[in-house]
Structure 1
Amino acid sequence: MIADRRARAAASLRGLAVGDAIGSCFFVPDNVPALRERRLPPDPWYWTDDAEMACSVFAVIDRHDRIDQDALAASFAKHHDFDRGYGPGVNRMLRLIRQEGGDWRQLAAESWDGRGSWGNGAAMRVAPLGAWFADDVERTVAEAKLSAEVTHTHPEGVAGAIAVAAAAALAASVPSVHEAEFLRLVADVAPPGLVRDGIENAIRLIHLDDPRSAAASLGNGREISAPDTVPFCLWVASKHLDDYVAAFWDTAIVGGDIDTNCAIVGGIVTTRLGVEDIPTEWQTRCEPLPTWAGIGS
């Protein structure tokens, strides 16, 4: 297990980006047979908005040792690349911040007719935060909430981020734990609601071996919501905390929001063992992370 928090967070970011990049390839119809056979898709492997936003989370924490919401919103807007697959709501929000000086607080609060987004976007980018604050789960929860609120103000969107960050923190800090106990520890810090209910259901399904059976009940991210995404991702991560490759394939094989699911699971698992658990070939073939993230290629 990795002792240094910056090294943990950097490893989590790399694991997130590799999962994101390979997972995104399986949206290409020609690559579906490879997915069914658990074979790697052909190059190129480009990461998406999942990794791009996670780079901002890492960079802001690395600079401030906390989530500075204004700095995070500014980084999201500055590095926003429309072609990375952002959702329409976030595309609009970041464009308004960057081009018109929009107030992120107002824009986030007004989204979805004032209900705020409960999408999986805050959860997909947060694992490096959990890795950074792994020695303090209470701090992890507080900082994850701050990180989510910049784009996701709905309680379920925030809960998804808290659950993933807590899972990453626990993966790094708990030496050995049964799958159900791991999920119980996450559920205990997740706010009440659909995300936590989903994690409770994941605990009841921990005896299953087939990820497709679990996803049939927990969801696979097809709805792009935190409740439909996070419980399944945590179910997979709990079963493969010591095996990045197995975690990746059990996540990808169920379909749905594959790149986001693989980003979440990859970010959690590498918090525990580091990038050494990611095959060298996978790392080499994946698009390098941007230099502005501050961790090198």
Structure 2
Amino acid sequence: MAESQLASLASRFRGCLIGALVGDCFGEPFEFLGRVTLESVKTFVHHVEADKSKKDTKILHYTDDTEMRLSIEASLLKHKGFNAEDMANRFAKEYFASKIDRNYGAHVTKIFSDWSSKHMEDVFLPASQQFNGTGSYGNGGGMRIAPAALFMYKENSHKLKELSDKITRLTHTHKLGILGAYLQALAVHLALNTAESPFPTDKFLQELTESMIYHEEETFGKYSQKPPSDSLKLYSQKLNAIKEFLARSDVEKKELVKTLGHDVTALGSIPISIYAFLRALSEINGLEGRNPYERTIMYAISLGGDTDTIATMAGAIAGAYWGEEAIPQKWQKNCEGLSVTQKHADNLYDYVKKH
């Protein structure tokens, strides 16, 4: 697919969810490895792309990022919108039924246990009681939120935030966790709705920054809950840092990670996922011959840290803009969950067309 061409909307729906799936599956083997380099990522990708018989092909398993994303898609489609009890039940059911370790965090599985062992009149309660009542500010909301952006394709950002907040609050109730998930949802939503080529980076960042400034002022002015003491920046400030980094040609990984993060917090992973997508719009040394989607995934993983979640979020944004055609077939076919992801993307597209 030529970089100057824009994919059809149906392709972009597929691209978003398949893009997220591939990022999750490709990123998982590198999660929190001591040292991840672009060369090690390239070696891994070359192995995936090598001609092999089906017998020898190793399917890459997805993590909790995709398992929870699939449940969100199924629930939104069944109820034509958000249904808290159904979505919670799907999260817990998939977790307890899975025979594969999906790398769930202990705090999330405690919520699943509470849902399953107690008669919960309020499914939001267990998450709100965690961490002495502040709730989690992890990236669990952002990692799974892409289908909300597809479902709300025709709606404005305020309606998108309403849905994103509800989905996130099932497991993450800290304001930074909720705001981060919305930032990721908005990034996907804007990419999906962008009809310009080349991609309008400045406009995209401006819209994200303005929205974050508005919601951060509203949130931290109204609530007593403040960012953790070791967090020097909010999302709007990190978005400004992204703009500065993109204007430079000499940014090293160490500086990126120090400023944007690459950990399991929402504040420490969602901004760098957005940066990876935007940085990959241009050529990257060592990735010559790769298209922007491929560069996004490989570069995101090379940044290290929580690689599966960072790559799944970056992949969702890139796929929403570039479409399914930009994702190599060999990459797709090596990922567990491809067929159900394709089906959900098509069903979400059909739903949006009719409503």
With the length of structure 2 as denominator, give the TM-score of the two structures.
Answer: 0.75
Distance in 2 (CA, whole Å) between partners of 1:37 and 1:46 is 17
* 2:126 paired with 1:86: no
Question: Is there any run of 5+ residues in structure 2 with no aligned partner, and where?
Answer: 1-6, 48-57, 221-233, 282-290, 346-355
Among 38, 62, 71, the alignment partner of 1:47 is 62
Q: What do residues 103-157 of structure 1 show as CA deviations (whole Å, max 9, x unaligned)?
A: 4311011011100110000001111221232332322222111111111111100
- 1:2 is aligned to 8
CA-CA distance at 1:238 after TM superposition: 2.5
Change (3 A) 1:180 1:153: same
Aligned length: 293
- 1:184 is aligned to 206
Among 22, 31, 42, the alignment partner of 1:18 is 22
My pick for the range that moved more, 205-214 or 183-192, is 205-214
Distance in 2 (CA, whole Å) between partners of 1:56 and 1:208 is 40
Distance in 2 (CA, whole Å) between partners of 1:201 and 1:33 is 23
- 2:235 is aligned to 195
My pick for the range that moved more, 26-35 or 205-214, is 26-35
Give identity over the alignment, percent. 25
Distance in 2 (CA, whole Å) between partners of 1:113 and 1:164 is 26
Q: Residue 184 of structure 1 aligns to which amino acid in structure 2?
A: Q
User: Over aligned residues, Cα RMSD in angstroms?
Assistant: 2.7
Which residues in structure 2 correspond to 1:50-199 (within 5 Å)? 50-80=65-95, 81=98, 83-102=101-120, 103-138=122-157, 139-176=159-196, 177-190=199-212, 191-192=215-216, 194-199=234-239
Change (3 A) 1:30 1:162: closer
Q: What do residues 154-209 of structure 1 show as CA deviations (whole Å, max 9, x unaligned)?
A: 11000111001000010011122432321221122232172233223222222134
Distance in 2 (CA, whole Å) between partners of 1:283 and 1:37 is 17
* 2:142–2:181 contact (8 Å) kept in structure 1: yes
With the length of structure 1 as denominator, give the TM-score of the two structures.
Answer: 0.88
Distance in 1 (CA, whole Å) between partners of 2:38 and 2:204 is 32
Distance in 2 (CA, whole Å) between partners of 1:231 and 1:292 is 25
Task: For CA contacts below 8 A with separation 6 or more, give which structure has more relative contact order.
Answer: 2
Distance in 1 (CA, whole Å) between partners of 2:329 and 2:341 is 23
Question: Is there any run of 5+ residues in structure 1 with no aligned partner, and where?
Answer: none
Q: What do residues 229-268 of structure 1 show as CA deviations (whole Å, max 9, x unaligned)?
A: 1111111223346721010111011101000000101111
* 1:233–1:251 contact (8 Å) kept in structure 2: yes
Q: What do residues 61-97 of structure 1 show as CA deviations (whole Å, max 9, x unaligned)?
A: 2223322222221111111147100000001111221
- 1:206 is aligned to 246
CA-CA distance at 1:28 after TM superposition: 8.6
